[in-house]
Structure 1
Amino acid sequence: MQVWSATGRRKRAVAQVRICSPGTGTIKVNQVDAEQYLQGAYANILKPFEKLQLDATYDIFIRTEGGGLTGQSDAIRLGCARALCMMNSEYRTPLKSAGFLTRIALKKERKKYGLKKARKAPQFSKR
């Protein structure tokens, strides 16, 4: 059994992805079935595999923490893409052109003193 592991990050979410081959096609996130855990964001994590037209011959075990479901699913997608590149270097070109190997660097901006939120100022009164 071969195992490839990679890490993906998005906002506050971190995902550690392990792809095992040969497998039966099971995908577990924090020991829970991925479809049940990620609900509507489940299709997002399968995109790298769909792009490469890989069938379900791999088992994927994922450990995530931090952030919300969208951030976690994007972190998982990045981790899966990185693990696939480790598996076969020829996968890098199509994954990179599809944007799956790009880390989304957007984060929540910190609140500044004197303001109500990061950029929202209190209402200005002329008099």
Structure 2
Amino acid sequence: MSHIINNNITYLGTGRRKTSIARVKLIPGSGKLIINGLPGELYLQFSPNYLRISCSPLTLLGLEKEYDVHVKAEGGGLTGQADAIRLGVSRALCSLNPDNRTILKTEGLLTRDARIKERKKYGLRKARKAPQYSKR
């Protein structure tokens, strides 16, 4: 999906992972990552792993210096948010150019990771942990 803001075409993508949601805007620019109004490095606590995960779709397509990435991330922790950002960027890149879809799809960057926390069941201590069995 794309919108025109300030004579720039903006590409939008939404990513989700666990309880995290990331709304991503790709704007033609110099390659800055801004998450919730903060520089991406600061928000992701200067973790090279989180930064690499978040920008991997751009790196794969060689567009890391072409677009600024503006993200509104909420919920979950940094790992879930980094993965949600990755999915959001991938989806935005698909709306940018449909040819990107095949490349991102083969790398598995368009697959939503559906694993979420299992709910607690009654009679159990957690989702599956049962109270200790006593025979007598």
Unpaired segments ≥5 residues, structure 2: 1-7
Cα deviation, 1:47-85, whole Å, max 9, x if unaligned, reads 111111224121110001001101001000000000000
2:17 pairs with one of 10, 14, 17: 10
Is 1:126 aligned to residue 127 of structure 2?
Answer: no
Is 1:24 aligned to residue 30 of structure 2?
Answer: yes
Is 1:45 aligned to residue 54 of structure 2?
Answer: yes
Q: Secondary structure at the match of 2:44?
A: helix
Is 1:92 aligned to residue 92 of structure 2?
Answer: no
Q: Secondary structure at the match of 1:110?
A: coil
Relative to structure 1, the CA distance from residue 12 to residue 55 in structure 2 (aligned partners, 3 Å threshold; closer, same or farther) is: closer
Question: Could you tell me how far apart the structure 1 residues matched to 2:78 and 2:39 are?
Answer: 14
1:35-74 matches, cutoff 5 A: 35-39=41-45, 40=47, 41-74=50-83
Shift of 1:12: 0.5
Give the structure with the larger helix fraction. Answer: 1
Relative to structure 1, the CA distance from residue 92 to residue 12 in structure 2 (aligned partners, 3 Å threshold; closer, same or farther) is: same
Question: Could you tell me how far apart the structure 1 residues matched to 2:81 and 2:64 are?
Answer: 23
Q: What's the Cα RMSD here?
A: 0.8
Using structure 2 for the length normalisation, give the TM-score: 0.90
Aligned-residue identity in percent: 52
Tell me whether 51-60 or 97-106 shows the greater mean CA deviation. 51-60
Relative to structure 1, the CA distance from residue 72 to residue 55 in structure 2 (aligned partners, 3 Å threshold; closer, same or farther) is: closer
Question: Could you tell me how far apart the structure 1 residues matched to 2:77 and 2:51 are?
Answer: 13
Aligned twin of 2:110: 101
Q: Secondary structure at the match of 1:89?
A: coil
Question: Could you tell me how far apart the structure 2 residues matched to 1:55 and 1:122 are?
Answer: 52
Using structure 1 for the length normalisation, give the TM-score: 0.96
Q: How many residues align?
A: 126
Moved over 6 A (4+): none
